[in-house]
């Protein structure tokens, strides 16, 4: 009598290692870029997509304003030293390193890619990923929530002003008309969302999954419009694979420098372990969700090259910070924190695609 052949266990799907997070949304963004390269919007379709993109950007910032809890941010003012340190890293150290990279033009970076790299250095910090990594590493999660809120609020004003000051019209930077458009298209909807937060906050909370998909779809539309304009304008012939490789190297050095500076600086300033983790994660990253819509308004047809460095940096920061967070969660100080029975802090929902 023959024995039955044992059933083979089902094959597990190939997935990247847990320490190597490949953001599915970044893959969707790259797919959108490929679609724009193959089928760019032109003629009447270009006008329709541009109008839809303008509406989508205003909707995005209205929802950002309606979600952002100013009360929660104000409650964190007692930790003002930490928040000033994060803001200094985001809007002072990053821009200084971006300006220092000017010496890489034109040998390493083209002027257009350098403009995108400098813009990357001017956008606000992330919210959701900073909170998530801080939580994994057992840092100060409430401070990370407030730091992300402060950075988002400050970025509404500082990012356009710094972009106009440091980039200017000579390198494709925004004009006075673009700054006015920032106020009308971004700041006004954001403030409207803040004013209506009490009335619509419950609705947003009940439908946050659906609205999260709206966020992501709106940003994909913005990316498609920006890259379609770049393709039809012929700007992509300025980028070669070698230039992209050099850009990745420059961004890796930039991220390593910011992680080192925020970690060392927080220690020198006398912050405890939990606060040092918050400063390092919140002060070394940049928000894809805030940067993409801002670039579409500030740079117009040149937005595709302006956002490319930010998209690449976004995935790089996720991968590197995930490794750091998991290692920090196992260091001796983290073990002491677990022994104290310190209660965990729930991670709140944040705007989708925040990075």
Domain spans in the chain, listed from the N-terminal domain onward:
24-329
State the DSSP H helix or E strand holding residue 145, giving kind and residue range, or none if neither: helix 141-166
Low-confidence residues of the chain, pLDDT below 50? 13-14, 16, 19-20, 170-171, 338-352
Please report the pLDDT score of residue 59 as a whole number: 86
Phi, psi of 240 (to 5 degrees): -115, 160
In 3D space, the residue among 159, 158, 201 whose CA is nearest the CA of residue 69 turns out to be 201
Instruction: Kindly report, residue by residue over 269-284, the tens digit of the pLDDT.
Output: 999 999 999 999 999 9
* Radius of gyration (C-alpha) of the chain in whole angstroms: 21
Q: Are 108 and 299 in contact (CB under 8 A)?
A: no
Instruction: Kindly report, residue by residue over 229-263, the tens digit of the pLDDT.
Output: 777 877 667 788 899 999 999 999 999 999 999 99
Secondary structure of the chain: what % helix, strand, coil (to 5)? 75, 0, 25
Report d(CA 319, CA 297) in Å as an integer: 29
Please report the pLDDT score of residue 223 as a whole number: 83
Q: Which CATH architecture has domain 24-329?
A: Up-down Bundle (1.20)
Please report the pLDDT score of residue 52 as a whole number: 87
* Exposure of 241 in the CB half-sphere (CA atoms within 13 A): 0
In 3D space, the residue among 224, 287, 234 whose CA is nearest the CA of residue 112 turns out to be 234
Residue with tokens 């009335």: 199
Helices H / strands E in the chain, number of each: 17, 0
Please report the pLDDT score of residue 150 as a whole number: 85
Question: Which region holds residue 123: left if phi is over 0, alpha if psi is between -120 and 50, else beta?
Answer: beta
């Amino acid at each position: 009598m023959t024995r039955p052949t044992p059933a083979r266990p089902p094959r597990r799907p190939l997935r990247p290692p847990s320490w190597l997070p490949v953001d599915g949304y970044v893959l969707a963004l790259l797919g959108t870029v490929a679609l724009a390269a193959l089928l760019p919007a032109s003629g009447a379709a270009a006008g329709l997509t541009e109008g839809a993109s303008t509406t989508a950007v205003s909707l995005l910032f209205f929802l950002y304003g309606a979600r952002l809890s100013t009360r929660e941010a104000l409650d964190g003012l007692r930790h003002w030293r930490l928040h000033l340190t994060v803001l200094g890293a985001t809007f002072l150290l990053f821009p200084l390193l971006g300006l220092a990279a000017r010496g890489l033009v034109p040998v390493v970076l083209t002027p257009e890619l350098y403009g995108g790299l400098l813009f990357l250095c001017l956008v606000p910090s992330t919210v959701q990923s900073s909170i998530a990594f801080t939580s994994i590493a057992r840092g100060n999660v409430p401070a990370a929530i407030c730091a992300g809120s402060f950075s988002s609020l400050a970025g509404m004003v500082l990012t356009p002003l710094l972009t106009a000051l440091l980039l200017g019209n000579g390198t494709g930077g925004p004009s006075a008309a673009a700054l006015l458009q920032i106020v009308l298209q971004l700041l006004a909807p954001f403030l409207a969302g803040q004013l209506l937060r009490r009335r619509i906050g419950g609705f947003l909370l009940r439908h946050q999954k659906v609205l999260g998909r709206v966020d992501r779809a709106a940003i994909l539309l913005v990316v498609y419009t920006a890259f379609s304009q770049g393709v039809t304008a012929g700007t992509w012939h300025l980028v070669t694979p070698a230039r992209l490789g050099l850009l990745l190297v420059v961004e890796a050095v930039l991220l390593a420098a910011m992680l080192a500076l925020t970690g060392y600086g927080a220690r020198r300033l006398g912050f405890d372990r939990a606060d040092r983790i918050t400063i390092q994660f919140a002060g070394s990253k940049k928000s894809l969700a805030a940067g993409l819509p801002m670039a579409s308004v500030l740079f117009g047809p040149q937005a595709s090259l302006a956002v490319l460095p930010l998209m690449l940096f976004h995935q790089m920061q996720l991968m590197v910070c995930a490794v750091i967070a998991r290692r920090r969660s196992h260091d001796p100080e983290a073990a002491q924190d677990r022994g104290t029975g310190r209660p965990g802090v729930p991670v709140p929902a944040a705007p989708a695609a925040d990075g």
